[in-house]
Chain A
């Protein structure tokens, strides 16, 4: 029941501006390789769901700076500002982490 009350409170706080969904919208682009909501389909594409925010931000900055080896991500990371990376990071961090078997 507590869950239901919480859900109702969330619904009442529906955002008035699309800007509030920007993290979700930016993150949706990643899904073509990392899976819907960041749940990886293929084991050679890392899951992003539930990744701690700081980890995501650090990885993206390292890709940008060329400090982290990549085939594609160094090219894509440079397409986003630090603020946009923060928004994506917050969105992925808020997804429930996948239970690994």
Chain B
């Protein structure tokens, strides 16, 4: 049989039941973000005898990295979107559905529309979900269209851009940042920077007020402070130790523990944890929020045969919740799963890395990098001493590299 015909048959086969006779095992991947997409692709790339089914509720991938540029009008939604066609070309069966339950004992996932699907190994890469309850009045204000998080790139990204476009010159944009750990450490400070860049040329009397629950800027601090002093004096106001505890939609006020903050556009990022399906699958182990894993395989410490990737994991020391990290974790998991399904021993000394860029204006960016290696004594991944670092200074060269990094990691994860 020709390979082309074989793929057609595989695509037509029903989802339910055991792995087809032509495959030696089936891996189901829940979630098509950086983690899930990369795992699906690399499983197929490194072992085509494994059947891979990726379940994703969205039709398109929307990247959180670079989505802040969309808010500032420096990029479009189309720029940060990709299809799942590339994964299909690798032989991944991409199913547009939602996993509503996981049965770890029977090794089954239940789809919202597609019935039960069995697996030999399950990968859960669910991203984050928000603890809206921790901020009084959030739900009500959100339903009234008076507060946005835009911390999952997608509809809210477009909504926030629209609100910023409609904002009058002289208006105030409020950004509230939750306590770490949260998705993308430098992300909020990048967002404040590029929105300030938009204000500076489009409506110079507008202000950016930051209420940060953390005691200081959590990532690339000196570089952000330098950029704000050089580029946006009088535009950005930064207040540390300011946790949002409520929202009053009628007066457009973010209630803080100490002093309240009023604005015209409220962008409050609530505290968050692993995506809901991780909770329903019983994978949450720590602080009622995150999923602890064995860092040599990414296998859950709560359920055998289930691997957890990305922002949902309980981070190893100094490990960021980033797209790069999720991509690297996915490859670690894919390699380990291939060995495990073949009855072999996974790589005993995995080593992965992170590199991510933050824009501070339309053209200038800076990066942070780390290398993470298995530590036998503490049985976790630790940053390699002497390796990694941040940019010496923001630059247009790194702004160009940031776009190259983005296009490359989107392709590496999805194409």
Contacts and interface: CB of A to CB of B under 8 A. Distances in A.
**Are A and B a genuine interacting pair, yes or no?**
yes
Interface in B364-415: 367, 369, 371, 373, 384, 386-389, 391, 397-398, 400-401, 403-405, 407-409, 411-412, 415
B346 interface: yes
Nearest to B46: A24
Q: Which size class do B's interface residues fall under?
A: 35 or more
Interface string B28-49: 0000000000000110011000
A34 interface: yes
Interface stretch (B72-80, B117-125, B180-188, B348-356): B348-356
Contact of B398 (A15, A18, A71, A84): A71
B58 interface: no
Contacts of A34: 408
Interface stretch (B171-179, B257-265, B326-334): B326-334
A33 B335 contact: no
B388 A79 contact: yes
B3 interface: no
Given A32-B405, A34-B408, A78 B387 contact: yes
Interface in A34-75: 34-36, 40-42, 44-45, 71-72, 75
A32 B408 contact: yes
A22 B347 contact: yes
B151 to A, nearest CB: 22
A72 B367 contact: yes
Contacts of A21: 335, 339, 347
A76 B401 CA distance: 16
- Among A26, A35, A42, A75: residue with most chain B CB under 10 A: A75
B411 A71 contact: no
A73 B183 CA distance: 25
A9 B328 CA distance: 31
B328 A72 contact: no
B351 A80 contact: yes
A76 B384 CA distance: 10
A18 B411 contact: no
Given A25-B350, A78-B384, 5 more contacts: A17-B344, A28-B42, A42-B404, A45-B401, A72-B355
List the 7 closest pairs (A to B, CB-CB), nearest first: A79-B371, A79-B387, A42-B404, A78-B387, A75-B389, A28-B331, A79-B384
Interface of B: 41-42, 45-46, 324, 327-328, 331-332, 335-336, 339, 342, 344-353, 355, 367, 369, 371, 373, 384, 386-389, 391, 397-398, 400-401, 403-405, 407-409, 411-412, 415
Interface of A: 14-19, 21-22, 24-26, 28-29, 31-36, 40-42, 44-45, 71-72, 75-80, 84
9 contacts: A18-B336, A18-B346, A25-B347, A29-B328, A32-B324, A76-B353, A79-B371, A79-B388, A80-B351
